[in-house]
Amino acid sequence: MRIPGFAAALLAFLLLAPALGFAAPARAAKPIPETTALSAVLIDAKTGMVLYDKDMHAVLYPASLTKVMTGLLAVERLSLDKSVTIDAETPFTKGSRIYLLEGEEVTAEQLFYALMIESANDAAVALAKEISGTTEAFAELMNRRAKELGALHTNFVNPNGLEHDAHVTTAYDIAMIAKEAMKLPAFRKAAATYPYTLERTNKQETRYFYNGNRLLYDEKHTVVYEGASRPIKYADVTGIKTGYTAQAGNCLAASAKRGDTELIAVMLRAEGMNVYLDAISLFEYGFDNYKSFQAVSAGAPQGEIRVKNGAVKTAAIQAGSDAWVTIPASASPSLVTTEPRLPARVEAPVEEGQVVGTMGILLDGEELGVVEIAAAEAVPLGGPLSRIGIPDGTAGRILRILIAALLALLFLAVAYVLLKRRQIKRRNRRREERRARLEAAERKREEFLRKLR
């Protein structure tokens, strides 16, 4: 058993808490537990940080933990109210089943709950065929999706976990798949459901299913934890799935939540009730030593960024998604800081939601994660003046000023012309009056001379 490097560093951080200004823990942190499963892992469900590792990459048989992937794909790919008609082959599926009949009409949701709660292999086959047409094609889909979710050593051959030498995975890979599945409300609800009633169908009477995950309900059986006997039922449990075959042994993917912190524990090849003791030990260790902290909320404003050749000079930016980090349980959130990493400017056009940079999430200077920074608004390509750094708004104001100036000049020109015309008319009128006076005087003079003659 080993603790991953960064998680180990966080544990060491706990010892330095007083010197670094952390709040003192209410009690001593729980030591690293010893688990009985051949392979085990504990992760923070929000961040994926590995908090405990016991040969987590050991390639083993998953048994019905396979159905975590089948259930994930069912929720992702199917409308759960869709009606499914059972074919002739599915009822002959081996192992745990709900004895579906040829021609039986059920909904995808009923098959999904039968898969998750009754661990029905025939329901898994029915879902696989409804999604991909054949179980072989569905297995290919399972493997592609597993790789997308970070699985490293998984090879699924069937949708239910029936024994097959090539059907293998690891505790780490199952944890990565479960982490994604638990983000889906429909999956979360089923993973935490204990009793489920499958109502009467066209072929069979009402059936009742009960979840095999004893962490959800079992107050009768006990395990010995820290020297004391305690019920298997775990108050904070939120799911997920059990599994067993002779080849795989007892397997369990379990989740539990306290406050904002949710943990996922996966145990492969455990013995009997010890699988629940392992889960309880890991959860108690995880909750006592670590916590999830939301460093940034999606959409949180992050200032502005300059835009080259844009209709405006800057664009508002924001956190592209929530950013959760795993920190020591005793750590003060005030020590979590953010570090924007942005270019000097971006080129227009800029689309709303376009990634323009990143932001590091740091704990006392140590990077815990990175979140994208995105444009909070669109910025279209600007007009000609944007090439010299004048945004469209300013360019518009300049244009309006120029138009106003031109209109003023035009008004002055018209006024000047009108004034000149008026002056010319007045001058011409005076000339006419003067000429008329002269002509009148000349007529009088001639008349006077005529009289003298």
Q: Which residues are catalytic?
A: 64, 67, 119
Q: Does a cis peptide bond (omega within 30 degrees of 0) precede residue 31?
A: no
Nearest to 130 by CA among 99, 159, 94, 97: 159
Q: Does a cis peptide bond (omega within 30 degrees of 0) precede residue 240?
A: yes
Cα 38 → chain centroid: 33
Task: Report the run of H or E that residue 404 belongs to, with start and end.
Answer: helix 392-452
Query: In angstroms, what CA-CA distances link 428 with 275, 349, 422, 432, 437?
Result: 118, 64, 10, 6, 14
Residues in the chain: 453
As a whole number of angstroms, the distance between CA 9 and CA 361 comes to: 16
Q: Are 117 and 197 in contact (CB under 8 A)?
A: no
| Residues near 405 by beta carbon (within 8 Å), at least 6 away in sequence | none
Query: In angstroms, what CA-CA distances link 221 with 194, 233, 272?
Result: 16, 9, 12
Strands 39-44, 50-54: pairing is antiparallel
Q: Are 181 and 170 in contact (CB under 8 A)?
A: no
Q: Residue with structure tokens 């209410």?
A: 26
Q: Are 377 and 316 in contact (CB under 8 A)?
A: yes
Task: Report the run of H or E that residue 422 belongs to, with start and end.
Answer: helix 392-452
Strands 345-347, 301-308: pairing is parallel
The alpha carbons of the chain give a radius of gyration, in whole angstroms, of 40
As a whole number of angstroms, the distance between CA 452 and CA 366 comes to: 128
Q: Are 263 and 255 in contact (CB under 8 A)?
A: yes
Which residue type, as a one-letter code, is found at position 175?
Answer: A
Q: Could you give the angle at the alpha carbon of 128 between the alpha carbons of 126 and 131, nearest 5°?
A: 110
Other beta carbons within 10 Å of 369:
18
As a whole number of angstroms, the distance between CA 67 and CA 356 comes to: 39
End-to-end distance of the chain based on CA atoms, in angstroms? 152
